[in-house]
Amino acid sequence: MGILNVTPDSFSDGGHHADPDAAVAAARAMAEAGAAIIDIGAESTRPGAEAIDGEAERRRLLPVIADVRSALPDMPVSADTYRSETARAALEAGAGIVNDVWGLQRDPAMANLAAETGAGLVIMHTGRDRDVLPDPIEDQRVYLSRSIEIALKAGVAQAQIVLDPGFGFAKDAEHNAVLMARFGELHALGFPLLAGTSRKRFLGYFTGRPVEARDVATAASSALLRAAGAAVLRVHDVAMNVDAAAVADVMIAAGRQGAGAGTELA
């Protein structure tokens, strides 16, 4: 999943794609590099970012979705928004997926919209504006179980849902490290998992690198999380992470073959 922010203030690529032509060019480059989805967002969710209203969000977002869908008609597009009104307009403009960073727990109409339209739905965990449990995985389980309950009660089909543990969202470096190490435990929730570590602050904490120099660390984390079962990797540098995932996939396949050979010999 390639990240395309049409914002002036996102932590990594703010202002780079505000012009629609630049946004389409970036989407084309991601597609050529191997992206399977383009995730387009119009409001920064970085810590301390200035909030905008839904009208401003839609003014930025909708023309870019339409232009990307026109330029790349076979490319699935995801709308990164927590507002159901924006999500509805984005789906009408050509998006097929909604990526909700509040996991359906901020706008109660989001789950109903997903059920009504059949759109793909990324449900993200966040620690913002609430008390979190000491154990990171237990907090994931409690929060995401509530989000899943909201979705299913609204009539969202299980096949529509992907879960995102929300790396970096009100999580310190240690919390993110534990979440990476125990990522496989999240499969118990029963849904495909998305991992979005790209260029995030905790990678800078681990490596000492500034945001513009964190793509190697991102690729390393992507390989590790792919090996732990991530179905989707949400990234800025698509080519580097496609390669990282390919190496992880070869390792996984070799491990399965080795296990099978061992069974036959036994």
Catalytic residue, from 200, 201, 214, 226: name it. 200
- Residue 158 has which token pair? 């299980």
Predicted pLDDT at 263:
42
Can you tell me the mean pLDDT for 178-206? 97
In angstroms, the CA 16 to CA 159 distance is 34
The C-alpha atoms of residue 25 and residue 17 are separated, in whole angstroms, by 9
Q: What is the pTM of this model?
A: 0.91
Q: Mean pLDDT in the chain?
A: 92
Q: How confident is the model at residue 113 (pLDDT cuts 50, 70, 90)?
A: very high
Active site residue 83: no
Position 257 confidence tier, pLDDT thresholds 50, 70, 90:
confident
The total number of residues shown for the chain amounts to: 266
**Confidence label for 158 from pLDDT (cuts 50, 70 and 90):** very high
Catalytic residue among 83, 201, 214, 234: 234
Return all residues near 174 (Cβ < 8 A) that are at least 6 apart. Answer: none
* Nearest-angstrom CA–CA distance, 73 and 89: 18
200 in active site: yes
